[in-house]
Amino acid sequence: MSDYKNKILSVCNEICKGTLMETLDIEYVDVGDNFLVAKMPVTPKVFQPDGVLHGGATAALAESVGSAASYIFLDAKEFFVRGIEITANHVKSVTEGDVYARATIIHKGRTTQLWEIKVTDIADNLISLCKLTTIALPKK
């Protein structure tokens, strides 16, 4: 991986300290020209009472990676990025291992952005399909 990609991932992981992302053990692991990938371990910490990955934890992973992708691909010095809508379709249960969320841009407007986030397991089975709309608000 290039030094540039490593620096982006390092910054993404550094800004997560003391946040929900750290609580959920979310780690950013790959970045490309139009995508960002994060992983989250599936442990009892993110289970619903019956021992499977909680949909809310999955949605938090999806919103985290989509928002971080907006931060990377927009001018973060000029804009605040906020999620304004998220949808999640959960299609498979997970009880162990890691899940990976890959955010890919669908629409990159000046004000709003639309992200598709596919959450998969290590075998690339689809766990959840999410869409996130973000808004870029001027800092001034």
Catalytic residue ranges: 63
CA 74 from chain center: how many Å? 16
Q: Provide the b/e sequence for 59-90 (b: ≥16 CB within 10 Å).
A: bbbbbbbbbbbbbbbbeeeebebebeebebeb
What is the spatial distance between Cα 20 and Cα 124, in angstroms, rounded to a whole number?
25
Using CB atoms within 10 A of its CB, is residue 111 exposed (0-12), middle (13-18) or buried (19+)? exposed
